[in-house]
Chains A and B, each alone.
Chain A
Amino acid sequence: MTGRVISDSSEWSFPLLERFDREIGRIAHEVYGLDTYANQIEVISSEQMIDAYSSVGLPISYHHWSFGKQFVATEQTYRRGQMGLAYEIVINSDPCIAYLMEENTLPMQALVIAHASYGHNSFFKGNYLFRTWTSADAIIDYLVFARKYIAQCEERYGQDEVELLLDSCHALMNHGVDRYKRPSPLSMAEEQKRQEEREAYLQSQVNDLWRTLPLSGASAGPRAEERWPPEPQENILYFIEKNAPLLEPWQREVVRIVRKIGQYFYPQRQTQVMNEGWATFWHYTLMNHLYDEGFVTDGFMMEFLQSHTNVVMQPPFDAPWYSGINPYALGFAMMRDLRRICEAPTDEDRYWFPDIAGGDWLKVLDFAMRNFKDESFIAQYLSPRLIRDFRFFAIRDDDREETLEVSAIHEEQGYRALRQTLADQYNLGNREPNIQVFNVDRRGDRSLTLRHFRHNRRPLGDSTDEMLRHIRRLWGFDVRIEAVDEQGRVQLLAEA
């Protein structure tokens, strides 16, 4: 067996990385049947890693001060040694690009290859959210297009003008997704071809919307009461792109670019636990398989296990370094638990998960990976055993009460409540305020009214005024926001 050991040194080299990649790939594809995009593994230095950080992990991006701020902040904390850099960054593209840092040791590089190039990669390719919302083969092209287009706009209309517009768009980036419609795929060639047509066409559409000549004298009066848009719109950026009266065509295009990029990140925001859990589960499984086949030494495994353990550490709530639930820890534990339920189910598991207990774990995991997001994944698969392992408890914070209440703990009566609450905690709809375009006063002052539908009486934060100014900049006329509480009472919050 010892003849198969790839290397017992901790120094990596390109030939060694290639061998590791070949073996890991073989195991991933042939033994466990992972379906991945082709891999592109790039070795970069730590400075380049900081660069990659600051453009939110995108390999190419347009220029904007906020990326500079991010860069400065990252560089600063890194230099002071307050923070290590991530070992890898992986990009949801086809081929799937993974960055390895040159400082990593050989076991780390192997871990990262297994984690990113096979774990994340197969998740990107398989998960329904990524399949629906992103087009891995087109994203790089689209980013190239976006960068060029925005640079052109800066040349033509001035850097300040474009910067202000981008600021406002970035503020609304999380409100640029139609949750219930599948977006059209992105492609650079099409995008460029269509973009010019769109400019001309859009402008004419917009003007049409504001044509205030009454169709006939009789119908003009009573119809003024009618609300427009007829249905509330949750995709604020899209609404602005299509309907803001005063935007120039190029400005609409910039709004569209930010919206599209926001959409690209939409699945990632909803699958953090699953995505990281999946990738961590696979690097763990693949590395152990490598070890079982005799490709790596004990020392190698010790180093691997040490990094792995650091990653999946979950400090308890009262630890000084506690900062919420570690998605790696939760995700990894859930994936492992699924495998356990299949392979060695207990009576409890048979009662809670009759469908999968004792099933084929590869199929069960694959199904889970493809068809869920964090919220539904937890609601479906968080087992009582894990709740006990993590010793989860729920806290209810009601501002009408003096104290916090412990509403459930890890016991028979608490499992369902805990599971539901934890799932809700990952529900994007609960985490982010529900704000919708409610009405436009088409015949009066053209003002735009947004409505915040309150959930659990939670109000908006202190950034609301500033946000309204951003929306006003895009809309061009007065903007106001109203809050609707759970009883349906409406209250004006702010105006700009």
Chain B
Amino acid sequence: MSHLIDRRLNGKNKSTVNRARFIRRYKTQLKRAVSDAVNRRSITDIESGEKVGIPSRDISEPVFHHGPGGTRDMIHPGNKDFLPGDRIERPEGGAGSGSGKGKAGNSGQGEDDFVFELSREEFMDLLFEDLELPRLVRNQLVGTTEFKSVRAGYATDGSPSNIDVVRSLKGGIARRTALGGPHRARIRELEEELAALLASGVEETDPRVIEIREEVDRLKTRIAALPFIDTFDLRYQSFVKQPEPTSKAVMLCIMDVSGSMDQMRKNLAKRFFILLYLFLQRNYDRIDLVFVRHHTIAQEVNEQEFFYSRETGGTVVSSALHLAYDILRERYDPSVWNIYAAQASDGDNWDSDSVLCRDLLINRLMPLMRYYAYVEITPRQHQSLWYAYQEVKAAHPHFAMEEIAGASEIYPVFRELFRRQEA
């Protein structure tokens, strides 16, 4: 008496809850590992999951057990040349630790870290925990819910205009095949019988032959009488209303590509932008990216050019701010879009331009912005732009500026900029 059951289609994620609890329990350790990981990572794989380690000691589950010492007798297989009374040196580390010979080498875990992989989601959650987007609240209050229709498979009823012809006809064929099947099988049988009869020399006028022919004709009429299409076959395209994302965000990336920004600095800037982008993704359903790069004149470019093309020349920051302002005014209505900007620069600017930038920001750009983050990537003394921006910061609290000297500072600076604000 056995039952065979196919369970393969049952859910396979039975352990999800337990896994989540494990992560929750060791959050502090994991967070440390995650922020270390960010600093180590290259830019391209920042979105994947991450291997993290926790000291095994921290997660051990204790039980009463014997420690080293005392007298122990152990049996091992495979004696080659030992005789009773032989004395052997204690193997390294195996001195009565309970593992016996060789086991230490086999399990080989000891005090190592317990290493495992976080999924991308878990990684991001830990990475951005405690961070929030400044001034997110206002937009959510303003936002109105809009719907849009999306395809959602097929339904058996609907309005005639939504009939899906191909599906309906397929249904018809299936129905006719199913209903006509028994008749056709019967016809085949009869025809075989008929063929056999005729082959054995029976006359066409034999009553059985006539009977078979009549029966076949009758069945054929019945098959022909099956309706070509029935209301039962009809399939309608189904549409459901889906709420349109209400929180849309646009992220303006502004970067100085003048001669003084070398590839290393651009990479630093890029990491910062990536962090910001990932972070926005968690909060908004839809994000537009606008890349503006500038030296003496500003250009809107695609991502590839933004990060990798080379330019040289002087630096006029206000050109980028002008262009940004134009783009926003044309395409991104601040009542619908949440506008975030991140600017990365090495701080070089024409002296007289810094004042212009300050005025542009204070009077025009900042009122449109949810948040404006400026990072200066420089190991040197600040120049005029920094001081001009300090005035902007004084005028608008949602303007933030920080300085980054190396890759390891990016994440701390990012945290600093987006720290959850006290209510």
- A-side residues, CB < 8 A to B, are 14, 17-18, 21-22, 25, 38-45, 47-48, 50-51, 54-55, 63-69, 71-73, 75-76, 79, 95, 99, 102, 117, 159, 163, 167, 170-171, 173-175, 314-325, 390-399, 402-411, 413-414, 418, 421-422, 424-425, 432-433, 435, 452, 454-464, 466-467, 470
Contacts and interface: CB of A to CB of B under 8 A. Distances in A.
A83 B349 CA distance: 59
A388 B102 CA distance: 22
Give the most central of B8, B65, B75, B88: most A CB within 10 Å. B75
Nearest to A481: B64
B201 interface: no
- B interface bracket (residues with beta carbon within 8 Å of A): 35 or more
Contacts of B21: 63-65, 68, 159, 163
Interface string B69-88: 11111111111101111111
A405 B85 contact: yes
Nearest to A74: B15
A461 to B, nearest CB: 4
Nearest to A461: B67
Interface in B236-280: none
A174 B65 CA distance: 11
B137 interface: no
B71 A407 contact: no
A464 to B, nearest CB: 7
Contacts of B330: none
Contacts of B88: 395, 403-406
B23 interface: yes
A257 B13 CA distance: 25
B12 A51 contact: yes
A48 B12 contact: yes
**Main secondary structure on chain A at its contact with chain B?**
mixed
Contacts of A425: 73-75
B399 to A, nearest CB: 41
Interface string B12-33: 1111011111111100000000
B61 A404 contact: no
B89 interface: yes
Contact of A319 (B19, B102, B107): B102
A95 B3 contact: yes
18 contacts: A41-B5, A42-B7, A48-B7, A159-B21, A171-B61, A171-B63, A317-B102, A325-B77, A399-B71, A406-B84, A410-B79, A418-B75, A452-B64, A456-B71, A458-B66, A458-B72, A461-B67, A463-B62
A67 B84 contact: no
B19 A68 contact: yes
A487 to B, nearest CB: 14
Nearest to A330: B77
A175 to B, nearest CB: 7
Contacts of B73: 394-397, 407, 421, 424-425
Given A399-B70, A421-B75, A461-B67, A117 B2 contact: yes
A390 B77 contact: yes
B105 interface: yes
Nearest to A113: B2
A51 B12 CA distance: 7
Given A39-B1, A393-B79, A395-B74, A413 B105 contact: no
Contacts of A397: 71-74, 90, 95-96
Nearest to B17: A63
A410 to B, nearest CB: 6
A302 to B, nearest CB: 26
Contacts of A452: 64
Nearest to B3: A40
B65 A463 contact: yes
A66 B3 contact: no
Contacts of B25: 65, 163
A470 B75 contact: no
Contacts of B12: 45, 47-48, 51
Given A64-B18, A456-B70, A42 B87 contact: no
Contact of A48 (B14, B17, B116): B14
B6 interface: yes
B123 to A, nearest CB: 14
Nearest to B20: A68
A467 B63 contact: yes
